[in-house]
Structure formats: C-alpha cells, structure tokens
Amino acid sequence: MGGRRGAPGSGDDYSVVSPVVKYLVFLFNFIFWIISLVMVAIGVYARMMKHAEAALACLAVDPAVMLMIVGFLMFIITFCGCVGSLRENICLLQTFCICLTVIFLLQLTAGILAFVFSDKALHRVTKMINNSIVHYREDIDLQNLIDFGQKEFGCCGGVTYTDWSQNMYFNCKQDNPSRERCSVPYSCCIQPKDEQVINTMCGQGMQLLQYAEAGDYIHTNGCIDTLVNWIHSNMFLLGGIALGLAIPQLVGILLSQILINQIKDQIELQNYNLRHRSDPWS
C-alpha cells in the first residue's frame, strides 16, 4: 500500500503512507532482528558446549537458556515489525506495537516494584546468590559469572566469605574429603599488582581464619552489600542505561503507531475514491 496513489481520476494523486516512516520502522526492526538471531545463536552454541548434567544442574539461572529465550522473543516481535512495515500489514504492526508497549510497561513496573519493595528484592537476591554458591561447581557458566562478579566487585560470598561453606566442596565439615575444605574460590583472593606468579591456591583454608586475619589474603566483604553500595554510588549511570533502553522502545512504539495511522488513512482514502467513482452523483 505504501506509496500508492488515489484512484485514477479522483484528483487525490498523492501518497498518504510516508516512505521515510515506513523504512525507518523496517530498519529499526531489522537491526534488532539481526541482534536477536546472534543472541539465539550464541545461546544455542553455549548450551551445546556444556555437558548435559551440568546444563541441567542450575537451569533456572542458566545464562545460555536466558539468552535463547530473550533472543527468541525479540526475533518474533521484530519479525512482526519487519514484515508489517514492508507489507503495510496493520495486524502485524499492531502486534509489534502492543508487544513493545507491554514489555516497556513490564520493565517500568519491575523498576518501581524493585524500588518500593527493596527489602524483599534484596532478600530475593540474597537467596539467589546463596543458591548460586551451592551450585558453583555444577555449572561452568555460573562459575564463570560468580568469579567475574567477585573479581570485579572485590567481594567474596553473599554476606561474608564464610558463606562458601554452603558449597559441598568448600564446607568445613570434618567428614568433607575435598581438598578445598574450608577454602574459598581463587576469585576471592586479593591479587597484588606486582605479582608475577599467580597463586591459584591462595584461598586455601581461609574460612578457618578470623575476619581480620583473612582480610590480609582475601576479600572478606560479601557481594550483596558491595553490590548495594555500588548501585547507590552509580545511580546516574544506571538511570542513563535505563533511559537508553527505554528510548529505542518508545521510538519504535511511536513510529509504528504513526505508520499504522497512515495506513488506515490510506485505506479510508481508497474506499472514499472507490465510492465516488462508482457513484459520481453522491
């Protein structure tokens, strides 16, 4: 329908649907459609590279699964936007617009709820981190994620470094045959900048030491408090990221709604021309 003109002889020889809006909507969706394909491909590859038992060990927090789910949803939504804009299909465009609006409202609601119920959100995060500690050795993706977080934030465990006793390999029970008994992961260690030889066993037996003594070798502060402090210190950065995520969604909603209105106007114009051509005296 895009660029189509009024009925011959109607005098309305102009286009109602703007090619600029039409192809902006297409380009917007096409870019995110490609991104969604990449996300699904990475998720599938990461999933296939894992052992089956490891993949099932902590399915709820499996980054590969989450990447595939988000990528698949993005693929469906942006596909509706791409085809809907090119074919000027109101149904597909409305599906795209509604989905994008729902996602935006869900994100907004989640942010508000997380702020209002911050204590419950913190409790939920604490529970999730403790569960991740329990499954630390069972999922390589989860292990890498925890190690990355502990290194970047300079923390160890959930509330404190002794939380690692919840893991079957690191707990301090007398009947624990593991060589890592009463230890913490290497990512908890304080790494001297001038150290040439990396000591991967620096966390050995650290849970047996008192807080002050252990602090000479490892990060003793828990990751939860460290994360909360980081959020409070970077509110403007997080706000900018949230705004950066919201703006493309709002632009997509606005452009698709403009295109929908233009297509509806085009249809009304064609119907008007057809009526007057069939009945010139009306």
pLDDT of 241 reads: 85
Residue 156 amino acid letter: C
* Structure token digits, residue 75: 């693929």
List the one residue out of 21, 25, 24, 38 whose CA is nearest residue 92. Answer: 25
Question: Can you give the pLDDT of all 282 residues of the chain as single tens digits?
Answer: 444 444 444 444 445 788 899 999 999 999 999 999 998 898 888 777 765 444 444 444 567 778 888 899 999 999 999 999 999 899 999 999 999 999 999 988 888 887 787 778 788 888 888 888 998 988 777 888 899 999 999 999 999 999 999 999 999 988 888 888 999 999 999 887 766 666 778 888 899 998 889 998 999 999 998 888 888 888 888 888 888 888 989 999 999 999 999 998 888 888 877 877 766 565
pTM: 0.67
Asked whether 182 and 172 are in contact (CB, 8 A), the reply is yes
CA dist 242 and 234 (Å) reads 12
CA dist 275 and 282 (Å) reads 9
Tokens 């040439």 sit at which residue? 196
CA dist 243 and 238 (Å) reads 9
Which residue stretches of 117-210 are H helix? 118-134, 140-153
pLDDT of 15 reads: 53
Domains of the chain: 19-119+234-278 (no CATH), 120-223 (1.10.1450.10)
CA dist 84 and 100 (Å) reads 14
CA dist 172 and 208 (Å) reads 8
pLDDT of 120 reads: 81
